[in-house]
């Protein structure tokens, strides 16, 4: 059942569940941050509307910098602004930033622990019809190894707003991962956001498998958990909104309870959430694990739901992975 202590949305499993894009939560939070702190500045690379920085730009034009299609310049200017005491948010598609400008971020932001927030949008294959060029499916893998960075992947628009506000509070570099399309609202304003902690969204008595999910695709894991329970298979579903620093304690404690793991992410399984959980388990508590995500391939154009189905990330694939991992116990 849904964890009764987290004030999750009671409408999660309804047909008419409310849907919003995580990027909308980002845009709203930016305006709030701008109002609360005059040092917050925003930069974009010709993507103000689609990365939702336009609201901030309208309200605080003197603190908004349109960099044009030049992501390396945007990142290094942000490093300079941070050196000058500002709190810059840079915003683009994740394939371009932190993709195209990866080394610029590494040298000028991460190595200096600059107070820059990197917002990577259009993450995952759910970016849809734009095709694989614009679907960021390696961004967790390329940001996670950076020393000193914090990586947030919110599961819905409500949590996206909270992670953005939290990023503004943190002193130092933060990577924020957002998705393009609308996805179901899972949490509520009252759901506590705990930076650096995994949260159990679905609980069972004597669970057999721990399902770790990150981002909007957590919804599909919850759908799977509900149907599995009806079939008599008990699971835990954990929301991993903070990829780094990893909540080793929370992750190990959930695996100790079940002894088997399924990871779920809209990202390459190598280097992402699956890689992270595997690293932690291998070091502390080896257990069978199945990986849901992009399996060493690029996706293609299509509707998000079609792509999630074709590339094996949906409810049915998660259910199969749970059954498979139980058989490996």
Partner 1 sequence: MGELSEEKLKDLEVKANKIRQLIIEMLVEAGSGHSAGPLGMADIFTAFYFHILNHDPKNPDMPDRDRLILSNGHIVPVRYATMALAGYFPIEELKTLRKINSRLQGHPHAASLPGLETTSGPLGEGLSQAIGIALAAKLDGKKFQVYCITSDGEHQEGNTWEAIMFAGKYKVNIINVIDRNNIQIDGNTENIMPLEPLKEKYEAFNWHVVEVDGNDIKAFIEAVEEAKKIIDKPVFILTNTVPGKGVSFMENDYTWHGKPPTKEEAEKAMTELKQLATSG
Binding site for partner 1 (CB under 8 A): 41, 62-63, 65, 67-68, 70, 72-73, 75-86, 88, 103-104, 107-108, 111-113
Token pair 């990197």: residue: 118
Q: Which strand (E) or helix (H) includes residue 119?
A: strand 117-121
Q: 79 vs 140, which CB is nearer to partner 1?
A: 79
Q: 107 vs 253, which CB is nearer to partner 1?
A: 107
Six token digits for residue 221: 């894991």
Given CA atoms 153, 155, 160, 166 in this order, what sign does their dihedral have? negative
Six token digits for residue 312: 């094996």
Given CA atoms 31, 32, 36, 40 in this order, what sign does their dihedral have? negative
Strand 87-93, strand 19-20: pairing = unpaired
Rounded least distance, CB 70 to partner 1, Å = 4
Rounded least distance, CB 91 to partner 1, Å = 16
Query: What is the distance between the alpha carbons of residues 321 and 153, in angstroms, rounded to a whole number?
Result: 22
Rounded least distance, CB 44 to partner 1, Å = 13
Six token digits for residue 263: 């990871």
Rounded least distance, CB 32 to partner 1, Å = 20
Question: Distances in Å between the alpha carbon of 73 and those of 44, 68, 76, 104, 249?
Answer: 10, 9, 5, 8, 39
Closest by CA to 153, choosing from 189, 193, 114, 207, is 193
The reply to whether 66 belongs to the active site is no
Cβ-based neighbour number of residue 129 at 10 Å? 13
Query: What is the distance between the alpha carbons of residues 278 and 273, in angstroms, rounded to a whole number?
Result: 8
CB-based contacts of 13: which residues, under 8 Å, 6+ apart?
Answer: 222, 223, 226
Given CA atoms 27, 28, 33, 38 in this order, what sign does their dihedral have? positive
Query: What is the distance between the alpha carbons of residues 313 and 264, in angstroms, rounded to a whole number?
Result: 7
Q: 109 vs 158, which CB is nearer to partner 1?
A: 109
Q: Which of 32, 71, 300, 320 is catalytic?
A: 71
Q: 86 vs 323, which CB is nearer to partner 1?
A: 86
Q: 75 vs 142, which CB is nearer to partner 1?
A: 75
Six token digits for residue 132: 């694989």
Rounded least distance, CB 163 to partner 1, Å = 24
Query: What is the distance between the alpha carbons of residues 288 and 198, in angstroms, rounded to a whole number?
Result: 20
Rounded least distance, CB 63 to partner 1, Å = 7
Q: 88 vs 120, which CB is nearer to partner 1?
A: 88
Catalytic residues: 71
């Amino acid at each position: 059942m849904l964890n009764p202590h987290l004030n999750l949305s009671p409408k999660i499993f309804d047909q008419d569940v409310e849907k919003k894009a995580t990027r909308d939560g980002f845009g709203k939070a930016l305006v709030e941050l701008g109002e609360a702190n005059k040092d917050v500045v925003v930069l974009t690379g010709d993507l103000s509307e689609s990365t939702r920085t336009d609201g901030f730009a309208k309200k605080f034009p003197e603190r908004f910098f349109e960099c044009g299609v030049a992501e390396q310049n945007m990142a290094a200017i942000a490093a300079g602004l941070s050196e000058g005491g500002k709190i810059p948010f840079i915003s683009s598609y994740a394939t371009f930033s932190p993709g195209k400008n990866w080394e610029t971020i590494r040298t000028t932001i991460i190595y200096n622990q600059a107070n820059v927030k990197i917002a990577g949008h259009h993450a995952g294959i759910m970016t849809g019809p734009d095709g694989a060029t614009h679907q960021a499916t390696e961004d967790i893998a390329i940001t996670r190894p950076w020393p000193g960075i914090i990586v947030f992947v919110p599961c819905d628009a409500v949590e996206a707003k909270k992670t953005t506000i939290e990023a503004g509070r943190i002193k130092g570099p933060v990577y924020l991962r957002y998705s393009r399309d609308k996805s179901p609202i899972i949490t509520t304003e009252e759901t506590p956001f705990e930076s650096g902690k995994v949260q159990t969204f679905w609980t069972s008595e004597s669970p057999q498998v721990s399902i770790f999910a990150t981002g909007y695709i957590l919804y599909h894991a919850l759908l799977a958990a509900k149907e599995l329970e009806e079939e008599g298979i008990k699971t835990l579903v954990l929301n991993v909104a903070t990829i780094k620093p990893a909540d080793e304690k929370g992750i190990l404690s959930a695996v100790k309870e079940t002894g088997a793991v399924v990871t779920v992410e809209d990202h390459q399984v190598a280097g992402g959430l699956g890689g992270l959980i595997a690293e932690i388990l291998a070091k502390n508590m080896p257990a069978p694990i199945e990986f849901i995500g992009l399996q060493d391939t690029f996706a293609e154009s299509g509707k998000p739901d079609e792509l999630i189905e074709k590339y094996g990330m949906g409810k049915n694939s998660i259910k199969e992975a749970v059954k498979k991992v139980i058989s490996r116990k």
